[in-house]
């Protein structure tokens, strides 16, 4: 796939995944210490009925070759959701990604993702089919070429290490982060600009 994209400067390959950022569970990590000093990560427990124990987001690690085979550019397109990933929000996210890629002069997105239920649902498959038909009819937009990963193979998705290292960068050893603080740190850690949350409209059931 990488070689195929390298022959088409107006194509992009995107590795998609979702991530939950906990405000309480601490990541495993190692740190440099001086002498007998030891850094302790305190795992705090949520209060009963506490809201937003974790924040969910969609991420697309995009690799595209603007000019030459060796001139690869990589970026992450990130959007948080108010609740959790579902089919309707997935199509909203894909539409947003296509708009961003179209503004960069792309015509095709090779979409690599796993077999999560909100990826393979009938709703999402129909949306992708209709989206591609619309792009072909109008002669503008970004077509989506879906390439599913084998079952239970997260190591094949290069966005996974981004999540792992990102969680280590946003950690706060001594206190609990607010949802706003955590979200801001995630954007900074992954070098992304802040975007409005993906959310369901009131008339969606």
Domain ranges in the chain are 2-22+53-189
Q: Is the CB of residue 146 less than 8 Å from the CB of residue 114?
A: no
Instruction: Give 4's contacts (C-beta < 8 A, 6+ positions apart).
Output: 11, 110
The number of beta carbons lying within 10 Å of the beta carbon of residue 197 is: 14
Beginning with the edge strand found earlier in the chain, give each strand of the sheet holding 143-148 in spatial order. 73-81, 54-64, 11-22, 108-113, 143-148
The number of beta carbons lying within 10 Å of the beta carbon of residue 198 is: 22
Tokens of residue 62, six digits = 């995009």
E strands, 97-199, are 108-113, 143-148
pLDDT of residue 39: 59
pTM: 0.85
The pLDDT tens digits along the chain (205 residues) read 666 666 778 889 999 999 999 987 766 655 555 666 665 656 666 666 666 789 999 999 998 765 555 567 889 999 999 989 999 999 999 999 999 999 999 999 999 999 999 999 999 999 999 999 999 999 999 999 999 999 888 889 999 999 999 998 998 777 788 999 999 999 999 999 999 999 987 444 3
191: phi then psi, degrees, rounded to nearest 5: 55, 50
CATH number of 2-22+53-189: 3.30.420.10
Query: Scanning the structure block, which residue is given the tokens 């603080």?
Result: 181
Tokens of residue 182, six digits = 């955590």
pLDDT of residue 205: 36
Closest CA to 128 of 97, 150, 151, 156: 97
Residue 198 gets which letter from DSSP? B
Looking at the DSSP bridge assignments, the partners of residue 113 are 148
């Amino acid at each position: 796939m990488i070689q195929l994209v390298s022959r088409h400067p107006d194509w992009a390959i995107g590795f998609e995944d979702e991530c939950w950022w906990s405000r309480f569970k601490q990541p495993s990590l190692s740190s440099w210490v001086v002498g007998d000093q030891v850094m302790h990560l305190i795992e705090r427990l949520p209060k009963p009925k506490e809201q937003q124990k974790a924040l969910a987001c969609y991420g697309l690690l995009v690799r595209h070759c603007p000019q030459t085979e060796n001139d690869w550019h990589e970026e992450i397109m990130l959007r948080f959701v108010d609740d959790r990933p579902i089919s309707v929000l997935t199509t909203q996210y894909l539409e947003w990604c296509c708009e961003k890629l179209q503004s960069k002069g792309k015509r095709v997105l090779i979409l690599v993702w796993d077999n999560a239920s909100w990826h393979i649902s009938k709703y999402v498959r129909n949306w992708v089919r209709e989206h591609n038909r619309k792009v072909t009819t109008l002669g503008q937009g970004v077509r989506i070429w879906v390439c599913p990963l084998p079952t239970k193979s997260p190591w094949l998705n290069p966005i996974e290490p981004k999540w792992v290292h990102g969680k280590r960068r946003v950690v706060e050893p001594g206190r609990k982060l607010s949802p706003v603080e955590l979200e801001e740190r995630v954007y900074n850690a992954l070098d992304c600009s802040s975007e409005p949350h993906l959310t369901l409209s009131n008339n969606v059931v």
